[in-house]
Amino acid sequence: MLPRLIRYVEERRTHRERWVGALRDTRTPLKLICGASDPISGAHMAQRYHELVPAADVTLLEGIGHYPQVEAPIDVERAYLRFRDRVGG
């Protein structure tokens, strides 16, 4: 498992511009739902996403870590349903 995780971190660095560009330039509605306490993609990542995409639609769940769908499933569902209703899904 550890070799896969290490590769993932390297892939993030290698493909950063491509992935960030896709998030920044897409016309497809996106919703980010993340745990503020996630050490990998938590509050710091949400802040950076807002810097790159000022109109970003982000739900930051306080006190939640890397698995918000497990740690706070009701909050994740509510955020998703609000997003879905807004974009006409």
Please answer whether residues 56 and 20 qualify as being in contact, where contact means their C-beta atoms are separated by less than 8 angstroms: no
Residue ranges of the alpha helices (H) in the chain? 2-14, 16-25, 43-52, 68-71, 73-87
CATH 3.40.50.720 fits 2-87, yes or no: no
Evaluate the CA torsion angle 45, 51, 53, 54 in order and state its sign. positive
Q: pTM for the complete prediction?
A: 0.80
pLDDT digits (tens, 9 = 90+) for 10-65: 887 888 888 888 888 999 999 999 999 999 889 999 999 999 988 899 999 999 99
Tell me the backbone φ, ψ of residue 44, rounded to 5 degrees: -65, -40
